[in-house]
Amino acid sequence: MLELNFSPFPILQTERLILRQVQLEDIDEVFHMRSNPSIMRYIPRPRPKSKTDAIKTIRMINRSVAKNESINWAITIKGNPELIGIIGFVRISKEGHRGEVGYMLDEAHHQKGIMHEALVAVLKYGFNEMGFHTIEGVIDPGNTASEKLLLKNGFIKEAYFRENLLFEDKWMDSVHYTLFSK
């Protein structure tokens, strides 16, 4: 069984980015991103209706970090502490040494290789520091950007589940990708 410890919070650095803990000060950016229909188009999660909802999301993220159950990082560009995206292991199976990676990035920063750079760092942390055996990516079949990102990072498609998720009264399909530790 995997033993996880996110204290002190692991700050990750890449060439252009710093990945740090999400804080209550990030409320405006979190609200902006999670209430944007085009960012959330393929993410079956409730949209925040108010900043209070965004605060709840940030608190939930950090409660889970404190309990060593899951971890999310705020993506920032070096020299600017503003949150431009979120990436993390949103679901972890300690028994299966497996984590599901999830991510979203503000539209102003799309297609500049930012999420690829963040993902490389997070995958390395997941395998080397957390001890995962496999990392999973679960996407909506229409999410070409996310699919390309996973394939670019060596994930392989393992399954297509039909109507395995009920979101806002609609049954959704999902495609499951896996990356194996080397």
Ligand X SMILES: CC(C)(COP(=O)(O)OP(=O)(O)OC[C@H]1O[C@@H](n2cnc3c(N)ncnc32)[C@H](O)[C@@H]1OP(=O)(O)O)[C@@H](O)C(=O)NCCC(=O)NCCS
Residues of the shown chain interacting with ligand X in the complex, contacts defined by CB under 6 A: 39, 42-43, 103-105, 110-116, 139, 143-146, 148-149, 152
Comparison of 58 and 118: residue with beta carbon closer to ligand X = 118
Report how far residue 36's alpha carbon sits from residue 48's, in angstroms, rounded to the nearest whole number: 10
Report how far residue 138's alpha carbon sits from residue 29's, in angstroms, rounded to the nearest whole number: 24
Comparison of 97 and 109: residue with beta carbon closer to ligand X = 109
Report how far residue 118's alpha carbon sits from residue 122's, in angstroms, rounded to the nearest whole number: 6
CB-based contacts of 38-47 (< 8 A; 24+ apart in sequence):
38/107, 39/104, 39/105, 39/106, 39/107, 40/104, 42/139, 42/140, 42/142, 42/143, 42/146, 43/104, 43/140, 44/140, 44/165, 44/167, 44/168, 44/172
For residue 41 the two structure tokens come to: 């188009």
Comparison of 130 and 150: residue with beta carbon closer to ligand X = 150
Comparison of 92 and 139: residue with beta carbon closer to ligand X = 139
Name the minimum Å distance from CB 174 to ligand X: 9
Name the minimum Å distance from CB 86 to ligand X: 9
Name the minimum Å distance from CB 7 to ligand X: 27
Name the minimum Å distance from CB 153 to ligand X: 9
Comparison of 67 and 78: residue with beta carbon closer to ligand X = 78
Report how far residue 159's alpha carbon sits from residue 161's, in angstroms, rounded to the nearest whole number: 6
**Which residues face 98 on adjacent strands?**
93, 134
Name the minimum Å distance from CB 8 to ligand X: 27
